[in-house]
Amino acid sequence: MSEYAIELKGINKSFGPVRANHDINLPITQGTIHGIIGENGAGKSTLMSILYGFYQADSGDIFVNGNKMTISDSQAAIAAGIGMVHQHFMLVENFTVLENIILGAEGGNILNKAIGQARKELLKLEEDYGLTVDPDAIIEDLPVGIQQRVEILKALYRGAEILILDEPTGVLTPSEADHLFNILRQLKDQGKTIVLITHKLREIMAITDNVSVMRQGTMVATRKTSETSVADLAELMVGRRVLMQVDKGDANPTDVKLAVENLTVKDSRGVIMVDDVSFEVRAGEIVGIAGVAGNGQSELLEAIAGIVPAETGRVLLDGEPINVTGGADPALLREKGMVHVPEDRHHMGLVLPFEEYENSILGYHNQEQYLSGAFLNIDAIRADAKEKIEQYDIRPPNPRLKTANFSGGNQQKIVLAREMEQDPVVLLIGQPTRGVDVGAIEFIHKRIIEMRDAGKAVLLVSVELDEIRSLSDRVLVMFAGKVVGERSPETSEGELGLLMAGVEGQAAE
């Protein structure tokens, strides 16, 4: 038997112009728990999808137990002994545990035999690994922790020797997570190999033997967990990028324009995403919210912008409370001077099949200058769009072009032009330079600073730490839905990185 359960050599995968995986090499030793860590969008999930046969690598080789394999679909992965537990469970909610376990392995048209056999197998698996589950329970009646256990059982039932878990603790309570770790240790003791994908450093330290760090599609390091530290990993993850030079004078903050008080936001599953957050943004300052993606920043921004209703708390815009808990009307907030550059410009900030000029009024299509009665004043809208195209150097300068046909940077400029030219009181910006080319980044940063200097209150959310540091006047760090600290932008990346990873104690020194 080979030393490595899995070995990936030179894996490349691109989606259009985006290189999701760039020349990845990854050896995973037999019988170990191997962590793969990186920020969202670093390429972890793509890599695992290649291993599980969802995607085909553009180039590179996969070795399983020393044998070169082509994994064309999940059937082939299962046959090779690879099992996967997805972040979002692939269970039929109104089936029983047993029915779910035999799903895809029914072995004939009559189910009785398979169910009987599965029941026996399941008992054996329970004995071997201490994975107790009631085989006749209906999935939707089970708590998520147990549902996940069913997913693990499903993989084991199919004879998985290598188990991949994608962000397994994302949906679990801390005690459920501890339980999961016990199970994983037990599986390891039985000789299984486990790959754990996560962006939580603590989990890596708690359970893995080895850890690989991914950043922007590349594998930056593979270490023995015992020989590394949280600080070390945080730095590898975030990267020591050259601080971008942004010409910026001192901030001149005056009145509080945006006040957030004890805001709590739950997502559709009822998980608390923003937990009792309070802060203020003054006119003439940029407050940056740093954090690893998925720690509640997106939900915070959307709640303030009136897109998702908050559970509890208050938000004051220019001293006046807005109805955050009842779902404030985004149109009304715009009228009151709060503009929003959303994180997801493809689904929210723009309607991609529309022509450029049509997107230049999205959200402002009620304004008089764009209308004549109930009709759109097409001439005025196009003239206005042309003006913004010139001002923001949007290319190609054609308001009749379909928005989907602009590059990422130019699409973002379309949104920025629309929002910034409203002369707002408060400017909310999410991920201003995500997927934006370098030239446009500089321009966008300059415009944000100009907005600040013009006396606007700017709230900036970004997962790019260097962007937060170079633009913000104050930095708030979010972790697990809470604001865990406020720092000045001059604070070292290491310290901010630790805060972002939720290692409060060490960082406080």
Partner 1 sequence: MKNELPKWADYGLIPLINLAIAFTVSGLVVLFVGENPIEAAKLLLRGSLGYGEGIGFTLFHATNFIFTGLAVAVAFHCGLFNIGGEGQAYIGGLGVAIICLSLDTVAPWWITFPLAIAASALFGAAWALIPAWLQAKRGSHVVITTIMFNFIAASVMVYLLTGMLRPQDSMAPQTRTFEVGGQIPKLDFMMDWFGLDIGGAPLNLSFLVALVAAFLVWVLIWRTKFGYELRTMGTSPTAAVYAGIPPVKTVVITMLISGALAGMMALNPVMGEQARVELDFVAGAGFVGIAVALMGRSHPVGIVIAGILFGMLYQGGAELAFDMPNISRDMIIVIQGLVILFAGALEHMFRPALINFFEILSINSKSSSKEAA
- At closest approach, how far in Å is the CB of 402 from partner 1? 8
Q: Which lies closer to partner 1 via its Cβ, residue 140 or residue 329?
A: 329
CA dihedral of 232, 237, 242, 244, whole degrees rounded to 10: -130
- At closest approach, how far in Å is the CB of 376 from partner 1? 6
**Whether 420 contacts 339, CB under 8 Å:** yes
Q: Give the tokens for residue 243.
A: 């601080």
Q: Which lies closer to partner 1 via its Cβ, residue 299 or residue 495?
A: 299
Binding residue for partner 1 (CB under 8 A) from 1, 110, 242, 374? 374
* Spatial separation of the C-alpha atoms in residues 216 and 161, rounded to whole Å: 29
Of 478, 482, 481, 483, the closest CA to residue 500 belongs to 478
* Spatial separation of the C-alpha atoms in residues 21 and 54, rounded to whole Å: 14
Between the alpha carbon of residue 99 and those of residues 117, 126, 255, the distances in Å are: 12, 17, 61
Q: Which lies closer to partner 1 via its Cβ, residue 70 or residue 366?
A: 366
Should residue 306 be labelled a site residue for partner 1 when binding is judged by CB under 8 A?
A: yes
Q: Which lies closer to partner 1 via its Cβ, residue 131 or residue 301?
A: 301
Binding residue for partner 1 (CB under 8 A) from 88, 247, 375, 490? 375
Should residue 378 be labelled a site residue for partner 1 when binding is judged by CB under 8 A?
A: yes
Interacting stretch for partner 1, rule CB under 8 A, among 28-36, 65-73, 257-265, 303-311? 303-311
Q: Which lies closer to partner 1 via its Cβ, residue 361 or residue 501?
A: 361
Q: Give the tokens for residue 305.
A: 């912008």
Total site size for partner 1, rule CB under 8 A: 34
CA atoms within 13 A on the CB side of 66: 4
423 Ramachandran zone, left/alpha/beta (phi>0; psi -120 to 50): left
- At closest approach, how far in Å is the CB of 374 from partner 1? 5
Should residue 16 be labelled a site residue for partner 1 when binding is judged by CB under 8 A?
A: yes
Interacting stretch for partner 1, rule CB under 8 A, among 257-265, 267-275, 302-310, 442-450? 302-310
Q: Maximum distance among all alpha carbons in the chain? A: 77
Q: What is the DSSP letter of 402?
A: B
Should residue 425 be labelled a site residue for partner 1 when binding is judged by CB under 8 A?
A: no
Q: For the chain, what is the total number of helices (H) and then of strands (E)?
A: 17, 22
**Whether 417 contacts 360, CB under 8 Å:** yes
Q: Which lies closer to partner 1 via its Cβ, residue 10 or residue 327?
A: 327
Between the alpha carbon of residue 474 and those of residues 253, 320, 469, 491, the distances in Å are: 11, 23, 9, 10
Should residue 272 be labelled a site residue for partner 1 when binding is judged by CB under 8 A?
A: no
Binding residue for partner 1 (CB under 8 A) from 137, 144, 362, 480? 362
Should residue 388 be labelled a site residue for partner 1 when binding is judged by CB under 8 A?
A: no
Contact pattern for partner 1 over residues 320 through 359, marking x by CB under 8 A: ---------xxxxxx-----x-x-x--xxxxxxxx---x-
Q: What is the CA radius of gyration of the chain?
A: 25
- At closest approach, how far in Å is the CB of 348 from partner 1? 4
* Spatial separation of the C-alpha atoms in residues 408 and 434, rounded to whole Å: 8
Contact pattern for partner 1 over residues 392 through 411, marking x by CB under 8 A: ------------xx------
Q: Give the tokens for residue 260.
A: 């957030």
- At closest approach, how far in Å is the CB of 351 from partner 1? 5
- At closest approach, how far in Å is the CB of 28 from partner 1? 35
* Spatial separation of the C-alpha atoms in residues 241 and 355, rounded to whole Å: 37
Q: Which lies closer to partner 1 via its Cβ, residue 246 or residue 376?
A: 376
* Spatial separation of the C-alpha atoms in residues 6 and 82, rounded to whole Å: 10
Q: Which lies closer to partner 1 via its Cβ, residue 217 or residue 349?
A: 349
- At closest approach, how far in Å is the CB of 338 from partner 1? 11
Q: Which lies closer to partner 1 via its Cβ, residue 33 or residue 317?
A: 317
* Spatial separation of the C-alpha atoms in residues 63 and 168, rounded to whole Å: 25
* Spatial separation of the C-alpha atoms in residues 328 and 309, rounded to whole Å: 7
Binding residue for partner 1 (CB under 8 A) from 376, 380, 425, 480? 376
User: For binding to partner 1 (CB under 8 A), which residues are involved?
Assistant: 16, 305-307, 329-334, 340, 342, 344, 347-354, 358, 361-363, 365-366, 371, 374-376, 378, 404-405
